[in-house]
Structure 1
Amino acid sequence: MRIGLITPAPDHPLLAATTALLAPDHAVEVLNPDTVRSVSDRPHADVYLLKSRTPHALALARELERRGARMVNSAAATARVQDRTEMADMARQAGLPFAPTRTFAALSELAGLADPVVVKSRHSYKGDLVARVDSHVQLRELAERHPQEPVVVQEFAPNSGWDHKLWAVGDQVFAALRRSELAPGEQGETRPLAPADLPSGWADLVRRVGEVFALDVYGVDVIGTGGDADARVPLIVDINAFPGIRNQPGAPEALAALALVRP
């Protein structure tokens, strides 16, 4: 088979390890959306792994799909979860436990909101806005830095300060605990978490997200609510297409197997 990687960073650990598994028996080629302007004059691969979410990467993916190529994930599914308003609406309509989400055209419209709240860019992109706001002073400062930013707002749900980072590659679920960027103190610490140690039903919840959003490789950010003693009630706060899934044994193997699945 011919497998294409739509990415400007084929050396990403997940992609590099997956390529090493596939290369002995299959042709793996890189399509860098930062430099390739069109695919109309080149033969296409049997399947593409859409790791980039830039507008041009999505345009290339749509062009390849029109020509019959299989895409993991599809351009439509990838774009859908970049809009946090559409994401929240779809999730709630499907009965998923997604954080109640309101949309505002600009931060200046948030005056009078009860705090604390979590403010995020409406459209997900690298370096997008994600901030906890605890006072009108913080809100005013944020609005001054991002005066025209369309945003979504979620009420802050009390939790342990640790996010459950859950990932799926096909039917396989991977997990870790990561110190929330909204929690006070040192950020970024990640703890390993075996999927078997997840609260009952959480792995199935992740798979249900994939069904609702037609995603094959994706991440689901979940916080456990219900108090410190039993923070087992899941609340989904974000979904993203084709995340990095770093340091997860078995993830490259799962991705390689998914790429080889015939349509």
Structure 2
Amino acid sequence: MRVCLLTDKPDHPLLAATASVLTEAEHRVTFLNPDIGTGSPSEPVPPDDLADVYLLKAHTPRALALARFLESHGARVVNSADATELCQDRSRTAVVAEGAGLPMPRTWTLDALSEALDGAERPESGYPLMVKSRHSRRADLVARVDGPVELRDLAAEWSDEPVVLQEFVANSGWDHKLWVIAGEVFAGVRPAPVGAPPDGARAAPLVGELPQSWTRLALRTGEVFGLDVYGVDVLDREGAPVVVDINAFPGIRGPRGAPAALAALALRSPRTGPPAHEV
């Protein structure tokens, strides 16, 4: 079986380990960086010589364009281009989550952060609030703002940035990361970037140690967003889980079994032929 990983970081621990698992099982593994070159993203991919499955780790516009090209020619892409693009837009993510009843902070969308200054003294969400780039990407904006002065300082640096404003979720200070690969849940914990975690390190919880409602929430999130490989960042608000971010194909680091789970997903997701309308 031929498996192609779409990424600019073939040495990423999860991807490298997954490639090793597949290669040891005598499957052919290749890597393709969608962002190399200036021509069409599909240029290096002959439509008559597609891999059986493509793992879409890259999330750039060129990567999404390539994924759509592959899908239009019958290739299986994990995650799909549509699902990946949806998760890149925090405004659309919030709307979909609210419609599905997933617990997320209240969210407001602005075309530019400078628009927040019109109501800097009394923003709709109150203070503190979270300010995030609307479009998730590397080195995007994610910041806690505690008052008008901080908001003005942030707007001076990110004036034209499309953003979402979110209510701040008072939490335990720990960011629980639930990673899901084809229905198998893995867990990790990190100091919340905007909380006040206790001093010292904290061991990653075993999935069985989490409340069942948390794992059910993670699985339900994948169903709602049409994802096979994804991460759900959860904060503990007085014992209740609140989803603060959803990531398509995140950089899963640490959990044992994740590479094997991803390899198994690739092997049971073969290309099934061209779409019916192209036959």
Common topology (TM > 0.5): yes
Q: Does 1:221 align with 2:233?
A: yes
Question: What is the CA deviation profile of residues 11-51 of structure 1, one whole-angstrom value per residue up to 9, with x for unaligned ones?
Answer: 10000000001013111111111225424536210100000
Map 1:183-202; keep pairs closer than 5 Å.
183-184=195-196, 191-202=203-214
2:157 is aligned, of 137, 145, 156, to 145
In 2, distance between residues paired with 1:7 and 1:13?
A: 12
**Structure 2 length normalisation: TM-score?**
0.88
Name the structure 2 match of 1:132.
144
In 2, distance between residues paired with 1:122 and 1:182?
A: 18
In 2, distance between residues paired with 1:160 and 1:61?
A: 39
Question: What is the CA deviation profile of residues 133-183 of structure 1, one whole-angstrom value per residue up to 9, with x for unaligned ones?
Answer: 001110000000001011101111211111111110011001111101112
Map 1:1-263; keep pairs closer than 5 Å.
1-24=1-24, 25-35=26-36, 37=41, 38-41=43-46, 43-110=49-116, 111=120, 112-113=122-123, 114-184=126-196, 191-226=203-238, 232-262=239-269
Q: RMSD value over aligned CA atoms?
A: 1.8
Q: Relative to structure 1, is the Cα distance of residues 148 and 76 closer, same or farther in structure 2, using a 3 angstrom cutoff? A: same
In 2, distance between residues paired with 1:203 and 1:73?
A: 20
Figure out how many residues of one structure are paired with residues of the other and give that number. Answer: 258
In 2, distance between residues paired with 1:154 and 1:167?
A: 23
Question: What is the CA deviation profile of residues 230-254 of structure 1, one whole-angstrom value per residue up to 9, with x for unaligned ones?
Answer: xx20111110100011011000010
In 2, distance between residues paired with 1:70 and 1:121?
A: 30
**Structure 1 length normalisation: TM-score?**
0.94
Name the structure 2 match of 1:229.
none
Secondary structure of residue in 2 paired with 1:159: coil
Which amino acid letter does the alignment assign opposite residue 248 of structure 1? P
In 2, distance between residues paired with 1:118 and 1:262?
A: 38
Question: What is the CA deviation profile of residues 77-106 of structure 1, one whole-angstrom value per residue up to 9, with x for unaligned ones?
Answer: 000010001100001101111111111111
